[in-house]
Amino acid sequence: MNGPQVYFEIPVLKGLPITESMRNQWFVMLLILCLCVFLTHNLQKIPTGKQALAEKAVVMLNGLVDSTMGEGCRHYAPFVAAIMLSSLFGSLISVLGLRPTTADLNTTLGWALIVCFLIHYSNIKFHGLKAYLKGYLEPIFIMAPLNILSEIATPVSMSFRHFGNMAGGLVISTLLLSALAAFSNAILGFLPVPLLQIGIPGILSLYFDLFTACMQAFIFSMLTMAYVGNARS
Amino acid sequence: MDPRAFVAGMSALGAGCAMIAGLGPGIGEGYVAGQACAAIGRQPECQSDVTRTMILGIAMAESTGIYALVVALILIFANPLVNFYNS
């Protein structure tokens, strides 16, 4: 069980490593871009086929944003969709045998820091700088260190939740694979291939790769909407 | 005894102890799911709202368990203490 492989380092700022996670995330971005172009080119007045699918997805996402953040927050929908799709495809890429990009703290912490910036930006923009700073002194001024700590805890908890779920699944899958290899060597050692490795990890993969990936993408975007909506109200 | 071996063994023990924290989220999430079932049984028409809130609540309750998992992973795979005796 190793971390993401480092391919090479760009020699600026004490070496900027290009890792497996970054390569896979570029692949994911390319995939999403191709999907968007494929779904939206040649739009018709009366939708058919793939256009109906795309419109249904957009309507569902707009409804989710409206019901979670309240009316008048429709302009956050593209950002939420970007976070959700990056997270979903970044996790689901493990089905193709690539390392999931979300099993790397750098990826999820990056997203969480963007969301954290958006929370504070929305708060300042909506309430003004004075009310924003005054919010730290609620309910009394002694609580200021605790309020600052809870603001720092937001991106940490968001990123650790996503990273922990995906990395935990990756560790358990890897451990199970090696355990099955050792087990089939012990009882079916005369066969040239570890026979027990066939099929059994797939059942576990249904939960760890498919279910957890969809769940964490949904939770990350729901929390984004909840926090940003909370900052505006 | 090699101090590094001692540190490594104690880290493995610490990782195991950290995962005891899995108890709390397990109990909490089970309680949340049970309450959600009761709510849906009483008012089946608000099933989607209850489910969405339940998923969010479960995600929040899971945080402490995930912290324990991260601590255990760090202790096993990226232990900062093993290299303590090298310097």
pLDDT value for A79: 92
Interface test with B, best of A156, A175, A219 (most B CBs within 10 A): A219
- Whether A11 is covered by a domain: the verdict is yes
The C-alpha of B2 sits at a distance from chain A's nearest C-alpha, in angstroms, of 25
* B69·A164 Cβ contact <8 A: yes
How does pLDDT run across A33-73, given as a tens digit for each residue?
Answer: 999 999 888 788 888 888 888 899 999 999 988 888 878 88
Lowest-pLDDT choice from A35-39, A42-46, A209-213, B39-43: A42-46
The C-alpha of B3 sits at a distance from chain A's nearest C-alpha, in angstroms, of 24
pLDDT value for B7: 86
- Whether B60 is covered by a domain: the verdict is yes
Lowest-pLDDT choice from A118-122, A155-159, A202-206: A202-206
* B55·A157 Cβ contact <8 A: no
- Whether A58 is covered by a domain: the verdict is yes
pLDDT mean across residues, chain A: 87
* B69·A168 Cβ contact <8 A: yes
How does pLDDT run across A64-99, given as a tens digit for each residue?
Answer: 888 888 788 888 999 999 999 999 999 998 888 888
pLDDT value for A43: 81
- Whether A212 is covered by a domain: the verdict is yes
Containing domain of residue B73, as a range? Answer: 18-77
The C-alpha of A194 sits at a distance from chain B's nearest C-alpha, in angstroms, of 26
| A:B CB pairs within 8 Å | 36
* B70·A164 Cβ contact <8 A: yes
Containing domain of residue A25, as a range? Answer: 6-42+49-232
Q: What share of chain A has pLDDT > 70, as a percent?
A: 99
- Whether A1 is covered by a domain: the verdict is no
* B78·A215 Cβ contact <8 A: no
- Whether A186 is covered by a domain: the verdict is yes
Confidence band of B16 (pLDDT split at 50, 70, 90)? very high
- Highest mean pLDDT among A63-67, A118-122, B52-56 belongs to A118-122
Residue A214 sits at the chain B interface (C-beta within 8 Å): no
pLDDT value for A188: 77
pLDDT value for B34: 95
- Whether B2 is covered by a domain: the verdict is no
List the CATH number of the domain containing B54. 1.20.20.10
Asked whether the predicted pLDDT for residue B87 surpasses 60, the reply is: no
The β-bridge partners of B47 are: none
Asked whether the predicted pLDDT for residue A28 surpasses 90, the reply is: yes
Asked whether the predicted pLDDT for residue A1 surpasses 70, the reply is: no
pLDDT value for B52: 82
- Whether B37 is covered by a domain: the verdict is yes
Q: What is the DSSP string of chain A?
A: ---PPEEEEESSSS-EEEEHHHHHHHHHHHHHHHHHHHHHSS--SS--THHHHHHHHHHHHHHHHHHHH-TT-GGGHHHHHHHHHHHHHHHHGGGGTSPPGGGSHHHHHHHHHHHHHHHHHHHHHHH-HHHHHHHTT-S-GGGHHHHHHHHHHHHHHHHHHHHHHHHHHHHHHHHHHHHHHHHHHHHSTTSSS-GGGSSHHHHHHIIIIIIHHHHHHHHHHHHHHHHHHHHH-
Domain count of the fold of chain B: 1
* A160·B77 Cβ contact <8 A: no
Domain count of the fold of chain A: 1
